[in-house]
């Protein structure tokens, strides 16, 4: 007979595996795309593939209530921990999962660089192939919020794709961009209408957003480290492997801080202080990134990353603890799903909007680059081609290389301004989160359609 401690270890080991795989998948290609191994005609397609994967992951986080595909893996890990442990004790386990996520995310760029230099960049995607047994159809398909799943998926993809294509592939005034944004907003409105009036078992109950504290808890996470490898590669001439190594201070500090935050919450029952501490340091950390330029030393870069990691780490799971404390036990799974969806949507938006800002800044410098580097090289380093052609910088003569490095540095600076501004919004939002006592008693969740129906009737009464 397995004792409780061994059972806990086995459960955590099992549910940590999918979290590790999804985190690594999101960063493994960041050091592989701007390399010579990726054929020139494939670089832009490869980048779009990575962006599409992130968008689809966010879109499928709310499908079928608990997510589908990769989105389901992320949500179910958090739901399992929420269902198995009390509100106070689960903080420590969330911290352990956060370590797995952060370490896997840090190893991703390093693995991407190793695969690219030693094997092929395609191995970044081969390792994601998992053979899983087929699951037969089960009773309960009628209970799925199909309309909600379709509308939230469509709205998310249309809005994010319009941001990705606007100003880069098509002008912002293009009918295609305007139509996609408009249809995305309309579809989003239909989703909220369905959740409020039509859905029998809504995938995102709107009652979650009736309290100001709940909304604030959903606004305190930001992810902005995706473009650091681009800075290392284009501005400092680092190889794909070295770019991954340079990112380690951020990832290591983030993971350790996440673990310490979980232990702190578990021991003290206080979750607001880590959230406040994290949002303040996140704003400061990304604000320090604005100072990164062509002459910034590696020591200074590492210190900036440590500050940012100290800020992002506490808010990796602490806002989820806050949200789960503020909602009823019946809404724990839905609240967790909404939180993970919002967090991953924020990550996707940060990548997309960051790319939009960077690409448009490089496009604004195209005339200057054409004058100093020539039209051929300028075309490679302008707009949507800039990030995927970062390796061109190192092949230029010294004088031309300095011009290109300066263009990348100045364009990335505006990206850090965006991230620091968003972090400040999260800092302000954290002040509106209410304080609740974290209980040590665990209430076992009731699952199944009968319990879902009873829960639905209970909320209506």
CB 344 within 8 A of CB 61: yes
Q: For residues 257 and 261, what is the distance between their CA atoms, to the nearest angstrom?
A: 6
Q: What is the pTM of this model?
A: 0.64
Q: Determine the 3-state secondary structure of 100 from DSSP.
A: helix
- Closest by CA position to 243, among listed 110, 401, 47, 411: 110
Q: What DSSP letter does each residue of 228-269 carry, written as one string? A: HHHHHHHHH---HHHHHHHTHHHHHHHHHHHHHHHHHHHHH-
Cβ-count burial 145-176 (b if 16+ within 10 Å, e if not): bebbbebbbbbbbbbbbbbbbbbbbeeeeeee
Tell me the average pLDDT of the chain.
71
CA trace torsion 66, 72, 76, 79 (10° rounding)? -40
Report how far residue 209's alpha carbon sits from residue 218's, in angstroms, rounded to the nearest whole number: 10
- Residue 373 and residue 384: Cα distance in Å, rounded? 18
Residues 381-418 pLDDT 10s: 776 677 777 777 777 788 888 888 888 888 888 888 88
- Distance from CA of residue 91 to its chain's centroid? 20
Token pair 């972090």: residue: 423
> Are the C-beta atoms of 158 and 352 separated by less than 8 Å?
no
Cα–Cα distance, 261 to 271 (Å, whole number) = 9
Q: What is the pLDDT of residues 422-448, one digit of tens each?
A: 888 878 877 777 776 665 555 555 554
pLDDT by position in tens, the chain (length 461): 455 565 566 666 655 555 556 555 655 555 555 554 444 445 555 555 555 566 565 555 555 455 555 556 666 666 666 666 665 566 666 666 666 666 666 666 666 666 666 666 666 666 665 555 454 455 556 666 778 778 877 887 787 777 777 766 777 778 888 888 889 888 888 888 887 777 776 777 666 666 555 455 444 455 556 788 888 888 888 877 787 788 888 878 887 887 788 778 777 778 788 888 888 888 898 889 998 888 888 899 889 989 988 888 887 777 777 777 776 666 666 677 777 777 777 777 777 777 778 888 888 888 887 888 788 887 777 766 777 777 777 777 888 888 888 888 888 888 888 888 888 887 887 777 777 666 555 555 555 445 555 555 554 44
End-to-end CA distance of the chain: 44
pLDDT at residue 454 in the model: 54
Q: Which domains does the chain have, with CATH numbers?
A: 14-128+140-145+200-460 (1.20.1250)
3-state secondary structure of 207: helix
Cβ–Cβ < 8 Å for 183, 238: no
Provide the b/e sequence for 248-266 (b: ≥16 CB within 10 Å). Answer: bbbbbbbbbbbbebbebbb
Q: In whole angstroms, give the CA distance from residue 354 to residue 351.
A: 5
Percent of the chain with pLDDT over 70: 54
């Amino acid at each position: 007979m397995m004792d409780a401690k061994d059972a806990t270890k086995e459960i955590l080991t099992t549910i940590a595996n999918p979290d590790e795989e999804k985190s690594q998948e999101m960063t493994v290609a960041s050091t592989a795309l701007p390399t010579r191994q990726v054929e020139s005609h494939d670089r832009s397609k490869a980048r779009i593939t990575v962006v599409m994967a992130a968008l689809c992951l966010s879109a499928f986080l709310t499908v079928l209530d608990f997510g589908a595909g990769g989105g389901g893996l992320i949500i179910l890990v958090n739901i399992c921990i929420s269902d198995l442990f009390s509100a106070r004790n689960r903080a420590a386990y969330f911290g352990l999962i956060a370590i797995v996520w952060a370490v896997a995310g840090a190893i991703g760029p390093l693995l991407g660089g190793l695969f690219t230099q030693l094997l092929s960049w395609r191995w970044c995607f081969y390792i994601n192939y998992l053979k899983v047994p087929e699951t037969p159809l089960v009773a309960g398909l009628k209970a799925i919020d199909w309309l909600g799943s379709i509308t939230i998926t469509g709205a998310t993809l249309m809005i994010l794709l319009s941001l990705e294509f606007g100003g880069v592939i098509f002008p912002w005034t293009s009918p295609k961009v305007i139509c996609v944004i408009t249809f995305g907003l309309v579809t989003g409105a239909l989703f909220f209408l369905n959740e409020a009036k039509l859905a029998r078992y809504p995938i995102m109950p709107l009652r979650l957003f009736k309290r100001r504290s709940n909304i604030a808890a959903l606004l305190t996470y930001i992810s902005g480290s995706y473009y650091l490898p681009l800075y290392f590669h284009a501005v400092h001439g680092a190889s794909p492997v070295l770019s991954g190594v340079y990112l380690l201070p951020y990832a290591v500090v983030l993971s350790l801080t996440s673990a310490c935050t979980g232990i702190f919450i578990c021991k003290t029952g206080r979750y607001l202080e880590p959230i406040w501490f994290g949002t303040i340091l996140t704003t400061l950390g990304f604000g320090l990134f604005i100072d990164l330029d062509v002459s910034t030393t590696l020591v200074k870069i590492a210190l900036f990353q440590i500050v940012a990691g100290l800020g992002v780490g506490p808010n990796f799971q602490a806002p989820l603890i806050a949200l789960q404390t503020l909602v009823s036990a019946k809404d724990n799974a839905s609240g967790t799903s909404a939180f993970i969806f919002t967090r991953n949507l924020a990550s996707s938006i940060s990548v997309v909007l960051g790319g939009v800002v960077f690409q448009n800044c490089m496009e604004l410098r195209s005339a200057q680059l054409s004058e100093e580097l020539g039209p051929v090289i300028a075309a490679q380093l302008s707009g949507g081609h800039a990030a995927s052609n970062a390796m061109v910088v190192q092949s230029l003569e010294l004088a031309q290389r300095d011009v290109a490095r300066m263009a990348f540095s100045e364009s990335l600076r505006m990206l850090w301004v965006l991230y620091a501004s968003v972090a400040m919004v999260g800092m302000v939002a954290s002040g509106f989160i209410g304080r609740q006592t974290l209980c040590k008693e665990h209430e076992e969740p009731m699952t199944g359609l009968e319990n879902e129906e009873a829960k639905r009737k209970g909320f209506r009464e």
